[in-house]
Structure 1
Amino acid sequence: MREFAWGVVQSAFQFEMGDPLRRFIDTRTDWWHWVRDPLNIKNDLVSGHLPEDGINNYGLYEIDHQLAKDMGLNAYQITVEWSRIFPCPTYGVEVDFERDSYGLIKRVKITKETLHELEEIANAKEVEHYREVLKNLKELGFSTFVTLNHQTQPIWLHDPIHVRENFEKARAKGWVDERAILEFAKFAAFVAWKLGDLVDFWATFDEPMVTVELGYLAPYVGWPPGILNPKAAKAVIINQLVGHARAYEAVKTFSDKPVGIILNIIPAYPRDPNDPKDVKATENYDLFHNRIFLDGVNEGKVDLDFDGNYVKIDHLKRNDWIGNNYYTREVIRYTEPKYEELPIINFVGTEGYGYSSEPNSVSKDNNPTSDFGWECFPQGMYDSIMIGNEYRKPIYITENGIADSRDLLRPRYIKEHVEKMFEAIQAGADVRGYFHWALTDNYEWAMGFKIKFGLYEVDPISKQRIPRPRSVETYKKIVREGLP
Structure 2
Amino acid sequence: MTHAGLLDAFPRDTFLWGVATAGHQNEGDNTASDTWFLEHTTPSLFREPSGPACRGYQQRDTDLDLAAGLGLNAFRFSVEWSRVEPERGVVSTEALDHYERKVDGCLERGLAPLVTFSHFTAPHWFAAAGSWTAADAPAWFAEQCDRVMARFGDRIAYAVTLNEPNLEQLLQAGAKLPPEAEAVKTQMLAAAARAAGTDSYASANVIPADLQDEFQAAFTRAHRAARGAIKARRADLPVGVSIAIADEVATPGGEERRDAKRAAVYDHWLREARHDDFIGVQNYERVVHGPDGEVTVDGELNGMGTVIAPGSLAGAVRYAHEVSGVPVLVTEHGIQTSDDAQRAAFVPAAVQELAAEVRAGTPVLGYCHWTLMDNFEWIFGYGAQLGLHEVDRETFRRRPKPSAKVYADVVRSHRGTLAHR
Instruction: Give TM-score scaled by structure 2 length.
Output: 0.84
Equivalent in the alignment of 1:262: 242
Aligned partner of residue 378 in structure 1, secondary structure: coil
Distance change >3 Å, CA 287–CA 334, structure 1 → 2: same
Equivalent in the alignment of 1:15: 26
1:243 aligns with 2:176: no
Contact 2:284 2:335 in 1 (8 A): yes
Contact 2:19 2:369 in 1 (8 A): yes
Contact 2:273 2:326 in 1 (8 A): no
Distance change >3 Å, CA 460–CA 28, structure 1 → 2: same
Contact 2:337 2:385 in 1 (8 A): yes
Equivalent in the alignment of 1:81: 80
**Inter-partner Cα distance in structure 2 for 1:155 and 1:213:** 25
Higher relative contact order (CA 8 A, sep 6+): 2
**Inter-partner Cα distance in structure 2 for 1:84 and 1:244:** 20
Larger Rg belongs to: 1
**Inter-partner Cα distance in structure 2 for 1:87 and 1:365:** 47
Equivalent in the alignment of 1:136: 105
Deviation at 1:322, TM superposition (A): 1.3
Give deviations 1:289-320, integer Å, cap 9, x for gaps.
1111111231xxxxxxxxxxxxxxxxxx3x11
Equivalent in the alignment of 1:65: 64
Deviation at 1:475, TM superposition (A): 0.6
Give deviations 1:452-476, integer Å, cap 9, x for gaps.
111110001111111112x112111
Among 345, 357, 372, the residue aligned to 2:304: 372
Equivalent in the alignment of 1:430: 363
Distance change >3 Å, CA 215–CA 251, structure 1 → 2: farther
Equivalent in the alignment of 1:56: 55
Aligned partner of residue 181 in structure 2, secondary structure: coil
**Inter-partner Cα distance in structure 1 for 2:252 and 2:233:** 49
Aligned partner of residue 246 in structure 1, secondary structure: helix
Equivalent in the alignment of 1:441: 374
Equivalent in the alignment of 1:421: 354
Contact 1:158 1:173 in 2 (8 A): yes
Equivalent in the alignment of 1:127: 96
Alignment of 1:317-356 (within 5 A): 317=275, 319-332=276-289, 350=294
Equivalent in the alignment of 1:358: none
1:177 aligns with 2:116: no
Alignment-mate amino acid for residue 410 of structure 1: R
Contact 2:15 2:366 in 1 (8 A): yes
**Inter-partner Cα distance in structure 2 for 1:403 and 1:280:** 29
Alignment-mate amino acid for residue 254 of structure 1: R
Equivalent in the alignment of 1:47: 47
Equivalent in the alignment of 1:384: 316
Among 397, 407, 418, the residue aligned to 1:464: 397
Distance change >3 Å, CA 67–CA 195, structure 1 → 2: same
Equivalent in the alignment of 1:37: 41
Distance change >3 Å, CA 137–CA 38, structure 1 → 2: same
1:285 aligns with 2:296: no
Among 233, 237, 240, the residue aligned to 2:212: 233
Equivalent in the alignment of 2:181: 220
Contact 2:81 2:118 in 1 (8 A): yes
> Is the deviation greater in 175-184 or in 241-250?
175-184
Equivalent in the alignment of 1:151: 120
Deviation at 1:65, TM superposition (A): 0.9
1:412 aligns with 2:381: no
Distance change >3 Å, CA 213–CA 482, structure 1 → 2: closer
Deviation at 1:368, TM superposition (A): 1.6
Contact 2:298 2:307 in 1 (8 A): no
Structure with greater proportional helix content:
2
Alignment-mate amino acid for residue 233 of structure 2: F
Give deviations 1:212-246, integer Å, cap 9, x for gaps.
5559997716766556452x221111111121111
Gaps of 5+ in 1: 18-24, 91-120, 160-171, 299-316, 336-348, 354-363
Contact 1:455 1:467 in 2 (8 A): yes
**Inter-partner Cα distance in structure 2 for 1:229 and 1:409:** 34
Deviation at 1:89, TM superposition (A): 2.0
> Is the deviation greater in 201-210 or in 178-187?
178-187
Give the alignment's Cα RMSD to 1 decimal: 2.4
Contact 1:201 1:258 in 2 (8 A): yes
Contact 1:212 1:236 in 2 (8 A): no
Give deviations 1:361-400, integer Å, cap 9, x for gaps.
xxx3222222232331122212111112223322111111
Alignment-mate amino acid for residue 72 of structure 1: G
Aligned partner of residue 374 in structure 2, secondary structure: coil
Aligned partner of residue 51 in structure 1, secondary structure: coil
Equivalent in the alignment of 2:154: 197
Distance change >3 Å, CA 482–CA 195, structure 1 → 2: closer
> Is the deviation greater in 383-392 or in 421-430?
383-392
Equivalent in the alignment of 1:477: 409
Contact 1:69 1:140 in 2 (8 A): yes
Equivalent in the alignment of 2:163: 206
Among 31, 41, 45, the residue aligned to 1:27: 31
Distance change >3 Å, CA 227–CA 144, structure 1 → 2: closer
Distance change >3 Å, CA 38–CA 334, structure 1 → 2: farther
Contact 1:51 1:443 in 2 (8 A): yes
Give deviations 1:8-45, integer Å, cap 9, x for gaps.
0101100001xxxxxxx2212111011222212xxxx3
